[in-house]
């Protein structure tokens, strides 16, 4: 459903865009709004990111070129996040350090993943990428067995128990949230669940099916959000203490995050059948920005805390206009930077090829 000519699944990028918006809304509490209920409604962001990362890793491994080894695939995937991370650490260190740079401090910040709070995501993702080929093979194996639904359920139950054990019995380093635990704790479960979902190749046969799925997904979203706001993680605390709530996520947030993704999936499916070109272009634009969520994720706090407070904005600016300025800056600056870098690199490479 809703794919490009090369088979790229656009709904994943659309869901990424929704998830990065949730990150930005979450982190602007106290600036753009004060309500804890509003913040809680956008806690789904990182859980959704890891689920989607599991899906994209599955697709990438399945379509891996025959000449590329598993080790080669792993190195390539690792470098895709290590390179932007190294640059982000250098930039953030330079700005946070009063516009001075120190190589020794840079190396330390790179290794401890906590110069910026959100850098814990990179630490978890690197571990999951290394684990991905094994998880992929197991996912394929259980999916091909007789009674595959039972085998999938057993596999996911085992992964959930391992995820909880990682939270309770492992410690990597003193960084933020789930970055403290091996494989990110329950983010491992969401990553594997994303792989299992990718293997199922769920699709809609028509507009009616997509509409019904959207209605069911919206009902599930409303129910899970009402439970999340009403229960306030009391269920998770009774089962796991204070370790599984938001980061890493417990049961309540996991179910809610999956409901958000189900709505995104069904909504994109419905749009693909409407044949409404303006609406399709709007969703495609959101999906295009969703391709750059890593860069927004890496730099948004620097923009939020270092740049935006220094803008000469007039006092008494309406809250909705202030929110538009903040969101545009936190999304637009990293996306524009990445686009300009890509164009400059392609121009340089084309020049080198022309001279050769």
pLDDT in tens, 25-63: 999 999 999 999 999 999 999 999 999 999 999 999 999
Token reading at 304: 């939020």
Q: What is the pTM of this model?
A: 0.95
pLDDT in tens, 212-224: 999 999 999 999 9
Residue with tokens 């990718």, as numbered in its chain:
198
Asked whether the predicted pLDDT for residue 6 surpasses 80, the reply is no
Q: What are phi and psi of 255, to 5 degrees?
A: -65, -45
Residue with tokens 């409303």, as numbered in its chain:
222
pLDDT: is 347 or 249 the higher one?
249
Residues linked to residue 9 through DSSP beta bridges, in sequence order: 3
Asked whether the predicted pLDDT for residue 3 surpasses 90, the reply is no
Q: How high is the pLDDT of residue 7?
A: 43
321-330: long-range pairs with CB below 8 Å, 24+:
322/32, 323/28, 323/32, 326/24, 326/28, 326/31, 326/32, 327/21, 327/24, 329/303, 330/24, 330/296, 330/300, 330/303, 330/304
Q: Tell me the pLDDT band of 354, cut-offs 50, 70 and 90.
A: low
Task: Supply the mean pLDDT for the chain.
Answer: 93
């Amino acid at each position: 459903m809703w794919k490009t000519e090369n088979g790229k699944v656009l709904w994943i990028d659309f869901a990424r865009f929704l998830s990065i918006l949730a990150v930005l809304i979450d982190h602007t509490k106290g600036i753009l709004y004060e309500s804890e209920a509003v913040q809680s409604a956008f806690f789904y962001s990182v859980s959704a990111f890891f689920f989607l990362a599991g899906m994209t890793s599955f697709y990438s491994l399945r379509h891996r070129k025959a000449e590329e080894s598993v080790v080669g695939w792993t190195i390539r995937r690792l470098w895709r996040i290590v390179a932007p991370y190294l640059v982000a650490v250098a930039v953030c260190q330079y700005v946070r350090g009063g516009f001075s740079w120190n190589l020794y401090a840079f190396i330390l910040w790179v290794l401890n993943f906590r110069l910026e709070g959100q850098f814990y995501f990179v630490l978890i993702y690197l571990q999951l990428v290394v684990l991905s080929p094994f998880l992929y093979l197991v996912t394929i194996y259980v999916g091909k067995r007789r009674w595959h639904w039972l085998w999938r359920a057993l596999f996911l139950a085992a992964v959930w128990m391992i995820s909880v054990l990682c939270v309770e019995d492992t410690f990597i380093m003193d960084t933020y949230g789930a970055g403290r635990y091996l494989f990110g704790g329950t983010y491992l479960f969401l990553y594997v669940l994303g792989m299992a979902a990718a293997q199922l190749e769920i699709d809609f046969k028509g507009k009616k099916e997509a509409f019904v799925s959207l209605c069911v997904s919206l009902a599930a979203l409303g129910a899970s959000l009402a439970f999340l706001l009403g229960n306030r993680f009391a269920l998770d605390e009774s089962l796991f203490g204070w370790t599984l709530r938001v980061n890493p996520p417990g049961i309540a947030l996991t179910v809610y995050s999956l409901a958000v993704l189900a709505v995104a999936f069904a909504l994109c499916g419905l749009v693909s059948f409407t044949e409404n070109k303006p609406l399709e272009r709007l969703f495609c634009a959101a999906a295009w920005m969703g391709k750059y969520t890593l860069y927004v994720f890496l730099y948004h706090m620097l923009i939020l805390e270092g740049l935006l407070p220094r803008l000469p904005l007039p006092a008494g600016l309406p809250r909705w206009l202030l929110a538009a300025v903040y969101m545009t800056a936190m999304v637009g600056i990293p996306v524009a930077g990445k686009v300009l870098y890509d164009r400059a690199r392609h121009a340089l490479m084309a020049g080198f090829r022309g001279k050769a």
